């Protein structure tokens, strides 16, 4: 297949985007780290003490995520029963929920008296990340030949012995990979820690935010971000090695088994537990949006819609409806930018070696925390000589940088699986190279870009970390308004925050469900 000339240069746009909004901000951050006086900040015990607290919390969150997720992975990916697909989709829902929504849901579920501390943070992180365990470990579990377990049982091994000596070693790399990812998510957590945590659950992400927005000590923040980047990079490097172990050798997925005997009870218990675990916090959140001390009320929704006002006292909250409109506009810009940049990166994979290299490079933001990205972007483009804060573009740019890897991950395998002979046939019939290429790949590309843009919008709607650094005081997004409301006393503040969170849940899950349904139909 002869690629059109323009396609061979499609990698330039993704390369320029990464250079301008990833390399330059990281270079600005590195300039702060390498400036005089850094040694004093590195030797400061505060950052290392917070890193130790974050490590303990992340290890505990990882352990609970594995305890909750492994039984779900076993049942939802190995057994056949009515409603299995819905149960698997339900187990994935927490992962796509914004962190501030999960924090508010847990506070609503356990009450304000118990709604903070080490235990509640660990449980919230496990709730968010159990889908990681289900998806990664479940995918590997479905490739293990069930006859190996049967053979071990036939030779006299108990059920536990067969699992420990046959199944667990085969699952080891997948469990390690999932654990590494959950650890990184918990170690770099911001929204959950700010809204549910206390002095025992601080993370470097929250420390960077405090050093930046309150203390205005950018050099200390840069050093803290560098320490976090080293820890995250080390864990992700280890996770990459375990993924190589998973991918070694050919594997095939075995047919789902029908549960028999005692397995039916086990499957039923796990499925029921999955439904309760996922829906209990969300249901409590919905109930909080229509409940007051005097009973049922729609006042919180009236305030959200602008029909009533909330007394902000000395704290300016801003209009909830205006924040929703602002978040929607940011999400739309993010979807368009991420789809365009990610689509060009995916297309360049088909035509040029450099395109393949830059498509891989687009995954780099996944290994960089939101605090690092937000701080670097603010240092590079949030102050003279280049100050973009007044344009309102900093947040969509940061969100697009986070979403582009998802677009590339969705688009690249789909384009690669498209039959290239369609292009050859079109060229044989007299079409020019560009027309022939669009004839073969255009329909697929159009569908996958819409889906990828929808995912990017969903990411933008609920993103909290980068927006905490880049949003102006008079221009907060919905997650930031929710955080502000939770910082104020009174049931009105909590009720309005719950109403906004419910809307955010509906919008996010609708986008993800539409993308998933469109992908299956295509």
CATH number of 440's domain: 1.10.3720.10
Question: Is pLDDT at 185 greater than 80 in this prediction?
Answer: yes
pLDDT digits (tens, 9 = 90+) for 398-443: 898 888 888 887 777 777 777 777 777 777 777 777 777 777 777 7
The pLDDT value recorded for residue 153 is 74
Lowest mean pLDDT among 314-318, 442-446, 503-507: 314-318
Under the banding of pLDDT at 50, 70 and 90, the label for residue 333 is very high
Pairing of strands 382-383, 295-296: unpaired
Mean pLDDT of 157-180: 81
The pLDDT value recorded for residue 317 is 64
With contact defined as beta carbons under 8 Å apart, do 26 and 378 qualify?
Answer: no
Between 60 and 90, the more confident residue is 60
Residues 231 and 137 in one domain: yes
Question: Is pLDDT at 118 greater than 70 in this prediction?
Answer: yes
In a domain? residue 4: no
Between 40 and 279, the more confident residue is 279
End-to-end Cα separation, the chain, in angstroms:
24
The pLDDT value recorded for residue 125 is 95
Helix H or strand E encompassing 242: helix 218-247
pTM for this entry = 0.82
Question: Is pLDDT at 330 greater than 70 in this prediction?
Answer: yes
The pLDDT value recorded for residue 6 is 75
The pLDDT value recorded for residue 282 is 92
Under the banding of pLDDT at 50, 70 and 90, the label for residue 380 is confident
pLDDT digits (tens, 9 = 90+) for 69-115: 999 998 888 888 888 888 888 888 888 888 899 999 998 888 766 66
Residues 407 and 279 in one domain: no
In a domain? residue 517: yes
Residues 203 and 177 in one domain: yes
The DSSP code sequence of 372-416 is: HHHHHHHHHHEETTEE-GGGT-HHHHHHHHHHHHHHHHHHHHHHH
Q: Which of 344, 364, 365 is nearest to 355 (CA)?
A: 344
Mean pLDDT of 308-317: 53
The DSSP code sequence of 87-130 is: HHHHHHHHHHS-HHHHHHHHHHHH-TTTSSSHHHHHHHHHHHHH
Residues 243 and 283 in one domain: yes
Distance (Å, whole) CA 109 – CA 115: 8
DSSP structural state of residue 219 = H
The pLDDT value recorded for residue 183 is 93
Residues 263 and 350 in one domain: no
Domain that holds residue 360: 300-522
Average pLDDT, whole number, for the chain?
A: 82
> Could you give the number of structural domains in the chain?
2
The pLDDT value recorded for residue 221 is 81
Residues 433 and 499 in one domain: yes
Residues 114 and 73 in one domain: yes
With contact defined as beta carbons under 8 Å apart, do 399 and 459 qualify?
Answer: yes
Residues 333 and 442 in one domain: yes
Under the banding of pLDDT at 50, 70 and 90, the label for residue 242 is low
Question: Is pLDDT at 2 greater than 70 in this prediction?
Answer: no
Under the banding of pLDDT at 50, 70 and 90, the label for residue 228 is confident
Residues 450 and 430 in one domain: yes
In a domain? residue 445: yes
Mean pLDDT of 447-468: 84
The pLDDT value recorded for residue 106 is 92
The percent helix, strand, coil of the chain (3-state, each to 5) is 75, 0, 20
Residues 429 and 370 in one domain: yes
Between 251 and 179, the more confident residue is 179
The pLDDT value recorded for residue 315 is 43
Under the banding of pLDDT at 50, 70 and 90, the label for residue 314 is very low
The pLDDT value recorded for residue 97 is 87
Residues 101 and 222 in one domain: yes
In a domain? residue 484: yes
Under the banding of pLDDT at 50, 70 and 90, the label for residue 303 is confident
Mean pLDDT of 484-501: 86
Q: Which of 464, 385, 405, 304 is nearest to 14 (CA)?
A: 405
Mean pLDDT of 503-521: 77
In a domain? residue 63: yes
Under the banding of pLDDT at 50, 70 and 90, the label for residue 312 is very low
The pLDDT value recorded for residue 286 is 92
DSSP structural state of residue 254 = P
Mean pLDDT of 449-478: 84
Residues 93 and 186 in one domain: yes
The pLDDT value recorded for residue 55 is 93
In a domain? residue 12: no
In a domain? residue 431: yes
Under the banding of pLDDT at 50, 70 and 90, the label for residue 250 is very low
Percentage of residues of the chain with pLDDT beyond 70: 90
Question: Is pLDDT at 522 greater than 90 in this prediction?
Answer: no
The pLDDT value recorded for residue 169 is 83
């Amino acid at each position: 297949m002869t690629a059109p000339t323009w396609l061979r240069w499609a990698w330039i746009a993704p390369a320029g985007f990464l250079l301008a909004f990833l390399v330059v901000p990281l270079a600005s951050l590195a300039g702060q780290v390498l400036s005089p006086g850094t040694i004093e900040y590195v030797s400061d015990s505060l950052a290392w003490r917070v890193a130790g607290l974050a490590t303990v919390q992340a290890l505990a969150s990882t352990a609970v995520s594995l305890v909750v997720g492994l039984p779900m992975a076993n049942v939802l990916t190995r057994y056949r029963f009515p409603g299995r697909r819905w149960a698997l989709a339900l187990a994935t829902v927490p992962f796509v929920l914004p962190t501030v929504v999960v924090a508010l849901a847990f506070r609503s579920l356990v009450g304000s008296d118990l709604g903070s501390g080490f235990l509640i943070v660990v449980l919230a992180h496990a709730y968010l990340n159990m889908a990681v365990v289900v998806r990664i470990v479940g995918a590997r579990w479905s490739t293990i030949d069930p006859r190996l377990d049967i053979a071990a049982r036939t030779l006299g091994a108990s059920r536990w012995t067969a699992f420990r000596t046959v199944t667990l070693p085969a699952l080891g790399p997948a469990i390690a990979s999932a654990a590494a990812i959950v650890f990184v998510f918990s170690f770099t957590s911001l929204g959950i820690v700010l809204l549910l945590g206390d002095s025992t659950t601080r993370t470097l992400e929250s420390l960077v935010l405090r050093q930046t927005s309150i203390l205005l000590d950018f050099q200390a923040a840069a050093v803290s971000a560098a320490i976090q980047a080293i820890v995250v990079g080390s864990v992700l490097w280890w996770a990459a090695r375990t993924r190589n172990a998973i991918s070694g050798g050919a594997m095939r997925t075995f047919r789902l088994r029908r549960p028999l005997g005692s397995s039916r009870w086990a499957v039923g218990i796990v499925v029921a537990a999955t439904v309760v675990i996922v829906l209990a916090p969300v249901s409590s959140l919905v109930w909080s949006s229509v409940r007051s001390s005097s009973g049922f009320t729609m006042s919180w929704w009236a305030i959200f819609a602008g029909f009533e006002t909330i007394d902000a006292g000395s704290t300016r909250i801003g209009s909830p409806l205006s924040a929703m409109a602002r978040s929607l506009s940011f999400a739309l810009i993010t979807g368009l930018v991420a789809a365009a940049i990610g689509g060009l990166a995916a297309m360049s994979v088909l035509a040029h070696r450099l395109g393949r290299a830059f498509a891989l490079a687009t995954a780099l933001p996944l290994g960089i925390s939101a605090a690092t990205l937000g701080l670097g972007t603010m240092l590079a483009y949030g102050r003279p000589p280049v100050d973009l804060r007044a344009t309102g573009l900093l947040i969509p740019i940061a969100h697009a940088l986070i979403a582009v890897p998802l677009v590339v991950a969705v688009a690249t395998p789909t384009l690669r699986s498209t039959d290239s002979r369609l292009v050859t046939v079109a060229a044989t019939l007299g079409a020019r190279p560009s027309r022939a290429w669009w004839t073969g790949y255009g329909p697929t590309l159009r569908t996958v870009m819409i889906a990828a843009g929808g995912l990017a919008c969903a990411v933008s709607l609920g993103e909290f970390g980068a927006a905490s650094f880049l949003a102006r005081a008079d221009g907060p997004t919905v997650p930031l308004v929710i955080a502000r409301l939770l910082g104020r006393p009174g049931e009105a503040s909590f009720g309005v925050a719950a109403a906004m969170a419910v809307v955010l849940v509906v919008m996010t899950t609708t986008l993800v469900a539409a993308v998933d349904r469109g992908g299956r139909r295509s």
